[in-house]
Structure 1
Amino acid sequence: MSENTTQTDTEPTGTPSGEDTPTQRDTNRSQKPTSKAFKEFMASHWAPSQPPEYTRDEVADHAAQRRRRVSEEFRGQRVVVPAGPLKVRSNDTDYRFRPHSAFAHLTGLGVDHEPDAVLILEPVDEGTGDDGGHHEATLYFKPMAGRDTEEFYASARHGEFWIGPRPVLEEFRTRLGLRTKDIDEFEPAVTKDAGATQIRLLRNSSPQVDALIDSARSQAGVELESAVEADGKVTEFLSELRLVKDPWEIEQMRSSVAATQAGFEDVIRALPRAVGTERGERIVEGAFFARARLEGNDLGYDTIAASGNNATILHWIRNNARIEPGELLLLDAGIEVDSLYTCDITRTIPVSGTYSPVQRRIYEAVLAAQNAAMSIVRPGVKFRELHATAVRVLAEHLDEWGLLPVSLDEALSPEGQHHRRWMPHGTSHHLGLDVHDCAQAKRELYLDGELEPGMIFTIEPGLYFKKEDLAVPEEYRGIGVRIEDDILVTEDGGENLSAAVPREPDDVEAWVQRLLG
């Protein structure tokens, strides 16, 4: 990897005593010249850039409607939504940038746009703002510097020579329908009249912006504790704003599902290389990741590639074990497309192409629970009923198998819950820009809320019998099964967005056998 520091080879490399300092050692890989001749030559002899023709993004109108709802909620208040900064991975290398989901939702920006950018909704006279609202929205970010600037070749984080072309102000202005300004103008814009104008900040996205606004509040005599508490209302509202997806978002979810299905098929084709191999789970993980980078931005979350007893570990992401013939592979994975929307699908696959009788028995019980929960999806049903319906079916199977230490009614009672030993997690969560989307929404709108058309969530029951579990017969031990699909609430029911990924046991076996040839 190329050096990415800015010390020059003409600078001193040691102290008068001949010893270098820690500060100098931090930059001891750089050999960039700084002579006047070099700078003049670097700034010249570049072909003129052809100005691109920008068109308005399809998402722009949807993002404007989302901002309009924010404007209605926070009239007279300055709303500040940072994208967040780059995050250091190791020493002087950064992770690939992903903006805060609320920022992506309100701007329409995906992929890797834009580190340190901030969206401000500035209050104006009621009804005189954007789209007849009460705010004017401006996106502040660092535009690309010209090739005649030192930043072009000297900045490893922002220079075009290092990271390629970046947007200019006009690009986002046209594509997103947003006012755009240089980030250098951000500080006075966000801190002005801090005592007279209520500032509502999406906290914990950018520590630098948090500190800047808190400092401005303190200097203006604003009571900081109450202001910070009020900031939580922004986080809560922006999370709730995503509970119901608009048509553009639904299409993004469909794209994620299609890409993820292709990734699952890549995994099955890779099974001959993975089975019987040290760290075979890594082969599975790698096959899916290759598809994610080919068709999307990244993984929606760390892939769970759990074979054998690892499938009983709910969030197994080490993926460092062998896969043995005859085992099940629990694959829980989703591809985050370029718009940053992700699906979340799980299939439990027989790596040798067929389920054993006990594997099939457990699989069919989980499938029955999932089907029961799917059957009640319709507007007006309480979200929590999905879970209650699924776990009741699981409890009935466990009772039929003689595994419950008490009666079925006692197990299902609030004082019992013995069946939850083998299904300790929730059955559903919302999906979208985050794999566990809308997590900051109020309980009465999430867990206690009613289903509405446009909501998208998982239904993912499972049974997990650990190999060390002495409460079950030996034949069950070391088997974990989860089946997870992504459900869209429609006007009169629900649509399984991931229905094309086989889940009936006969269909799964045929799917595996076909792809293995």
Structure 2
Amino acid sequence: MSSHDLPRPDYAARRRRLMERLPDGVAIVPTATEKSRNADVHYPFRPDSDFWYLTGFAEPEALLVLVPGHPDGEEWLFCRPRDPEREIWDGRRAGLEGARELCGIQQTRSIVELDSLLPELLQNRELLCAPLGRSADFDARLMLWRNQARSRSRAGIRYPQELVDLGFLLHEMRVIKDPVELEHLRAAVGISAAGHRHGMRVCRPGMTEYQLQAEIEFVFQRLGARSVAYPSIVGGGPNACILHYTENRDALADGDLVLVDAGAEYGNYAGDITRSYPVNGVFSPAQREVYALVLASQKAAIAALAPGRSVADYHEAAVAVLVDGLRDLKILSESREAILEQGLYRSFYMHRTGHWLGLDVHDAGSYRQRDGNWRMLEPGMVVTVEPGLYFSPENPACPERYRGIGIRIEDDCVITAEGVEVLSAAAPKEIDEIEALMALGG
């Protein structure tokens, strides 16, 4: 399977939509910068998500400029020219002609021309839209270009008076996925689910967390995902109570649970699935009690996903079930109202129930409306649903019976006109399904 097998997004239509929102402005969208890992070794390059959303161009040292109505062209892409000598060392480049053909942008220029041409493209524009506050170096360069455009104001040439963060306009486009994006997400989540199923089958006492991680990520790559969407979390026993545990170095012990939060990135779209299961393949009675509670809360949260429902509703639905369960298990003794009002459950459940998902694992888009109220869900939005309970041995409020148990169950869901589609349903989460799959072995 290859991301080339999936339909190509209409990047040109996205650029047109953005330009419609800034008729007398200019948008500057840089890709990510290459990052040094150590000495002369770099981290694998991954393009900036906003830049990719508008261009589908994967190379570093590139920048998109959108100038609605400009007589020489509304769309400008600055990128690296062909360089046969460097390509021997670093790999092929699209070059200006290749970028023009790939992106459908007629004005493709060498990145070395950027500083000389950019101030001219800012002239006679009222608004400058760019990613602000993310990179001090880029912010300084942006102000230099603007100041150079301003230097010609005595000649009657206007320059941008208003600066707007790119996310204010673009991220509201990204929060609603189009049908092609949903196909990419289904592929990323499907690969992620396959990795989780394989992990359940090969998990056994004595293997290390990093060995289980390697088994899962091997499946991701074998199925075409060249990268993980984020560092995988594989926490056995009490390590599962560390929300962003990534050391993944301990041995998995018989009788413990393991929490696996891992997702594949495919075509730059992220999968994000968490499953928790017994290392030896059989839930203990205490583990079953906690797992059943978390699963019930997750199902209640998924049931609260629908167009017109608040983005906060599904978190509140999960919390309500968890609070009742914590009282039933005698972990909390206060009244339901007191627990909710005082947030007493946060000793065991300290995060929200989900987030947007897309090109970024914590994807772009506001959760609140301008009036401060939670926004309403709409078809095409994609969210994670991931309640959990964490009974850390270091938390004196945890009953002995449950200490060291950390459970999170996470699915990826798309809001549809009818309600919700669970993209990650292929990853088992019912107790009987998990135990049956683990009994098959690797």
- Would you call these one fold, judging by a TM-score over 0.5? yes
Which secondary structure state, in structure 1, belongs to the residue aligned with residue 174 of structure 2?
coil
Q: Which residue of 1 aligns with 2:393?
A: 467
Q: Partners in 1 of 2:357 and 2:238 — Cα distance? A: 28
Structure 2 counterpart of 1:91, which letter? A
Q: Does 1:178 align with 2:105?
A: yes
Which secondary structure state, in structure 2, belongs to the residue aligned with residue 143 of structure 1?
coil
State the Cα deviation string for residues 67-109 of structure 1 (Å, max 9, x = none).
1221111111110000022111112211111111100111123
Q: Which residue of 2 aligns with 1:246?
A: 178
Structure 2 counterpart of 1:412, which letter? L
Q: Does 1:230 align with 2:172?
A: no
State the Cα deviation string for residues 18-57 of structure 1 (Å, max 9, x = none).
xxxxxxxxxxxxxxxxxxxxxxxxxxxxxxxxxxxxx999
Q: Partners in 1 of 2:162 and 2:236 — Cα distance? A: 45
Q: Partners in 2 of 1:56 and 1:333 — Cα distance? A: 24
How far 1:220 moved relative to its partner? 4.2
Please show how residues 75-474 of structure 1 align to structure 2 within 5 Å: 75-109=23-57, 113-124=58-69, 136-146=74-84, 152=85, 159-179=86-106, 180-192=108-120, 194=122, 196-197=124-125, 198-203=127-132, 208-221=137-150, 230-232=163-165, 234-272=166-204, 275-277=205-207, 280-294=208-222, 295-337=224-266, 339-413=267-341, 416-438=342-364, 441=366, 443-444=368-369, 448-474=374-400
* RMSD (Å) for aligned C-alpha atoms: 2.5
How far 1:384 moved relative to its partner? 0.5
- Indicate how the Cα distance of structure 1 residues 395 and 71 shifts in structure 2: closer, same or farther if over 3 A, else same: same
2:311/2:367 contact within 8 Å kept: no
Q: Partners in 2 of 1:88 and 1:161 — Cα distance? A: 21
Which secondary structure state, in structure 1, belongs to the residue aligned with residue 67 of structure 2?
strand
Which secondary structure state, in structure 2, belongs to the residue aligned with residue 380 of structure 1?
coil
Which secondary structure state, in structure 1, belongs to the residue aligned with residue 270 of structure 2?
coil
Q: Which residue of 1 aligns with 2:412?
A: 486
How far 1:181 moved relative to its partner? 2.4
Structure 2 counterpart of 1:59, which letter? R
State the Cα deviation string for residues 330-367 of structure 1 (Å, max 9, x = none).
00010001x21001000001111110011011000001
Q: State TM-score, norm by structure 2.
A: 0.90
1:83/1:206 contact within 8 Å kept: no
Q: Which residue of 2 aligns with 1:17?
A: none
Q: Partners in 2 of 1:161 and 1:292 — Cα distance? A: 29
Structure 2 counterpart of 1:73, which letter? R
Q: Partners in 2 of 1:206 and 1:488 — Cα distance? A: 32
2:271/2:412 contact within 8 Å kept: yes
- Indicate how the Cα distance of structure 1 residues 207 and 270 shifts in structure 2: closer, same or farther if over 3 A, else same: farther
Question: Structure 1 stretch 393-402 or stretch 466-475: which is displaced more?
Answer: 466-475
Number of matched residues?
Answer: 428
Question: Which of 56, 59, 82 is the equivalent residue of 2:8?
Answer: 59
2:119/2:148 contact within 8 Å kept: no
Structure 1 counterpart of 2:69, which letter? V
Q: Which residue of 2 aligns with 1:15?
A: none
State the Cα deviation string for residues 366-421 of structure 1 (Å, max 9, x = none).
010011111121110000001000000000000111221411121122xx111121
- Indicate how the Cα distance of structure 1 residues 513 and 143 shifts in structure 2: closer, same or farther if over 3 A, else same: farther
Q: Partners in 2 of 1:114 and 1:230 — Cα distance? A: 27
Structure 1 counterpart of 2:185, which letter? M
Which secondary structure state, in structure 1, belongs to the residue aligned with residue 140 of structure 2?
helix
Structure 2 counterpart of 1:305, which letter? V
- Indicate how the Cα distance of structure 1 residues 468 and 208 shifts in structure 2: closer, same or farther if over 3 A, else same: closer
5+ residue gaps in structure 2?
152-159
Q: Partners in 2 of 1:259 and 1:452 — Cα distance? A: 26
Structure 2 counterpart of 1:230, which letter? L
5+ residue gaps in structure 1?
1-54, 130-134, 147-151, 153-158
Q: Looking at CA atoms only, which structure, 1 or 2, has the larger radius of gyration?
A: 1
- Indicate how the Cα distance of structure 1 residues 206 and 470 shifts in structure 2: closer, same or farther if over 3 A, else same: closer
1:299/1:334 contact within 8 Å kept: yes
Q: State TM-score, norm by structure 1.
A: 0.78
How far 1:447 moved relative to its partner? 7.5
- Indicate how the Cα distance of structure 1 residues 489 and 56 shifts in structure 2: closer, same or farther if over 3 A, else same: closer
Structure 2 counterpart of 1:67, which letter? R
Relative contact order, CA 8 A, sep 6+: which one is greater?
2
1:462/1:481 contact within 8 Å kept: yes
Structure 2 counterpart of 1:460, which letter? E
Q: Partners in 2 of 1:56 and 1:214 — Cα distance? A: 42
Question: Which of 420, 426, 438 is the equivalent residue of 1:500?
Answer: 426
2:32/2:60 contact within 8 Å kept: yes
Structure 2 counterpart of 1:171, which letter? G
Q: Partners in 1 of 2:134 and 2:77 — Cα distance? A: 16
Q: Which residue of 2 aligns with 1:4?
A: none
- Indicate how the Cα distance of structure 1 residues 73 and 204 shifts in structure 2: closer, same or farther if over 3 A, else same: same
Q: Partners in 1 of 2:16 and 2:269 — Cα distance? A: 21
State the Cα deviation string for residues 96-123 of structure 1 (Å, max 9, x = none).
11111100111123xxx21110011012
Structure 1 counterpart of 2:62, which letter? A
1:240/1:442 contact within 8 Å kept: no
Question: Which of 4, 13, 19 is the equivalent residue of 1:71?
Answer: 19
How far 1:194 moved relative to its partner? 4.1
1:84/1:205 contact within 8 Å kept: no
Percent of residue pairs identical:
37
1:427/1:461 contact within 8 Å kept: yes
- Indicate how the Cα distance of structure 1 residues 322 and 60 shifts in structure 2: closer, same or farther if over 3 A, else same: closer
